[in-house]
Amino acid sequence: MPYAFHGRRTAVATLSAALTVALAGCGSGTGSGEAGRAELTVLAASSLTDVFGTAGAAYEKSHPGTDVTFSFAGSQELAAQVRQGAPADALVTADTKTMAGLKSDTGTPTVIAKNRLVIAAERGNPEKIASLGHLADSRLKVVLAAPEVPVGRYSRQILDAQGVEVKPVSQEPNVRAVLSKVELGEADAGLVYATDAAGAAGKVDAVAIPDDQNAVASYPAATLKTSRHADAAAAFVKWLSTPEAQKILRDAGFQQP
C-alpha cells in the first residue's frame, strides 16, 4: 500500500485504477495551487517513508514557494504508476535497475543514498537468530519481499550466494510490509533494510549481516518528464544531494551515495 506525506502531516493514499494520486486536504499534486507556488508530487520507495517525512518538512521550510507531497510504495509499483501516466514530478527508487527501466520517462538520475540489509527478528529474538544460515530452519516463519521488489531481489541474491534455502511463509509487496509481519509477531524473521529496522527499534531486533555476505541498495532520484513543475522538481532532486539533505539521510541510517 502506498503512503502519502505532506509536510509534517501524514495520510494514507489510495491510488485508483486510473492511477490518480489522491492528496488529502491539498488537492492534486500537480495542481497550480496559489499563484507562484509549486505543488510537487514525489513517488518514493517505501523504505524512504520515515526519512522523507523529515526531509520534506525541511525542504518546505527552506523553499517556502514549494509544497512537497510524497506517495510511497514498492519501487516496482512506482514504476507501473509512471508507465501508466500517474501525475507526479519526481521519482526515487530503491534500486538502479528499476530507474534504468524508466529512462524514457525520467531525467538523468542521481544516486542520493545507499542502504544494506539486516535480519529483522521478533522483539527479543526468542529464536536466537544470529545469521543468514539460521533462516533455513524449517521451524521458523520467515517472510520476504516478493522477487520483483528491490529488497526481495537483494534478499534472494544474498541467500543464494550463501547457499541458504528459505521457504517464506509470505512474499510481501514492499519492505514495510515485511517489517510489519515481524513487528506483529506473524513471522519470526524477515530481511529488511537496516534503516527500516532502526526505525522499528524496540519493536524488532536487528541482526547484522556481514558486509561480505550483504548487498548494497542504491537509491537514484530523477525528475519525471511529465512534470508540470519541471524547474521545481529539478531543484528538489538537486537538493537531495546537498549537505542539508544528506545529513537527514545519514541521521536516519542511510549510507553515503
**At which residue does the C-alpha cell 534478499 appear?**
155
Residue-level pLDDT, tens digit, the chain, 257 residues: 444 444 433 333 333 333 333 333 333 333 444 556 899 999 999 999 999 999 999 999 999 999 999 999 999 999 999 999 999 999 999 999 999 999 999 999 999 999 999 999 999 999 999 999 999 999 999 999 999 999 999 999 999 999 999 999 999 999 999 999 999 999 999 999 999 999 999 999 999 999 999 999 999 999 999 999 999 999 999 999 999 999 999 999 999 99
> What is 46-115 written as a DSSP string?
GGGHHHHHHHHHHHHHH-TTEEEEEEEE-HHHHHHHHHTT---SEEE-SSHHHHHTTTTTB---EEEEEE
Burial (CB count within 10 angstroms: exposed 0-12, middle 13-18, buried 19+), residue 131: middle
Phi-psi region of 170 (alpha: psi -120 to 50; beta: other; left: phi over 0): beta
Query: What is the phi/psi pair of residue 90, to 5°?
Result: -150, 160
Model pLDDT, residue 37: 84
d(CA 191, CA 197): 9
Please report how many Cα atoms fall inside a 13 Å half-sphere around the Cα of residue 130, on the Cβ side. 1
d(CA 226, CA 58): 25
Report whether CATH 3.40.50.300 matches the domain 115-213: no
Q: 3-114+218-251 maps to which CATH number?
A: 3.40.190.10
Model pLDDT, residue 20: 35
Model pLDDT, residue 18: 35
Which of the 8 DSSP states describes residue 174?
S
The domain limits of the chain are 3-114+218-251, 115-213
Same fold for the pair 3-114+218-251 and 115-213: yes
Give the predicted TM-score (pTM) of the model.
Answer: 0.84
Model pLDDT, residue 35: 54
What are the distances in angstroms from CA 121 to CA 132, 144, 182, 201, 206? 12, 12, 7, 11, 6
Q: What is the dihedral of CA 184, 154, 199, 174, to 10 degrees?
A: -50
